[in-house]
Amino acid sequence: MILLGVNVDHAATVRQARYRDEPNTFGGFVEPDPAEIAWRSEEAGADGITMHVREDRRHVQTEDVERYMENKRTRLNLEMSWAEEMVDYALRIKPDSVCLVPEHREEVTTEGGLDVAGNRTKAREVTSALVDAGIPVSMFIDPESSQLEASAEVGAPWVELHTGSFAQAWFDQEARTREMEALRSGMTLGVELGLRVNAGHGINYDNVVEARTLDQVHEFNIGHSIISRSLFTGIEEAVASMRASLNPDS
Ligand code: PXP
């Protein structure tokens, strides 16, 4: 069984596009409510919810995270940078897991994986602070052996392999095969190193058919395609059909 984590950031992106300057994050005419999208996703079969609180707060706000947590049914994977402010925030609210990602202000969404191998001291310090507080840490990395080995070495129990290059290569068979091979061998190495291996970024209703053949994956974290489809079908149908696509035989 491959688990589905639903990333609700883009529901917050839509709200911020209109109501960035409102004092409230929900209620009245302030919509859509990312916490409500998260709860409904859980009802439809999501195994977990991801929210990315960016340092510039461009989409999810801390109020969204905390409201969701008051009534969550599954688990919160808090995506964040390893800035001190964010680590303190995670230690205070105690999500079920933290996914560490690189953040660059100019990017539209997360681009590229975290350079754990080049920042071992920082990675070790942040990981041990969170893991000692009982919060599993997942490193969002490209499927490179140096990054996998460094993640295990600094004590991260989980990694999330970046599937963006695979998704981008969808119309180029040669590149796509190469990216799938990189993901497959990254997963094998991760499992050998004792890591739980998740994956995500750019997975949609088409490429999931190939992505799901990465059978060592524990969970896919998927956002944009689910939120986009929900505009036509509602979030429940969008989540249920993605979960069914991940596990066609169950
Ligand atoms: N995993 C991580 C670490 C991400 O940063 C993102 C994008 O926010 C996702 C998964 C989901 O990517 P997408 O929205 O393309 O499904």
Residue 224 annotated to the active site:
no
Binding-site residues, ligand 1, Cβ < 6 A: 7, 9, 52, 79, 99, 101, 109-110, 140, 160, 200-203, 221-225
Name the pLDDT band for 119 (thresholds 50, 70, 90). very high
CA of residue 208 to ligand 1 center, whole Å = 14
The residue annotated as part of the active site, out of 52, 59, 162, 218, is 52
Indicate the pLDDT class of residue 192, thresholds 50, 70 and 90: very high
Query: pLDDT tens for residues 196-240?
Result: 999 999 999 999 999 999 999 999 999 999 999 999 999 999 999
* Ligand 1 nearest atom to the CA of residue 201, by list position: 12
- Quick: pLDDT tens for 55-110: 999 999 999 999 999 999 999 999 999 999 999 999 999 999 999 999 876 666 66
Nearest CA residue ID for atom 4, ligand 1: 201
Whether residue 201 lies in the annotated active site: yes
Q: Which pLDDT band holds residue 137 (cuts at 50, 70, 90)?
A: very high
Amino acid identity, position 41: S
Domain that includes residue 179, residue range:
3-246
Task: State yes or no: pLDDT of 7 exceeds 70.
Answer: yes
Q: What is the pTM of this model?
A: 0.96
Atom of ligand 1 nearest to the CA of 224: 14
Section 8-16 average pLDDT: 97
Q: Which atom of ligand 1 is nearest to the CA of 99?
A: 3
**CATH number, domain with residue 33:** 3.20.20.70
Active-site residue, 79 included: yes
More confident residue, 215 or 111: 215
Give the count of domains, the chain.
1
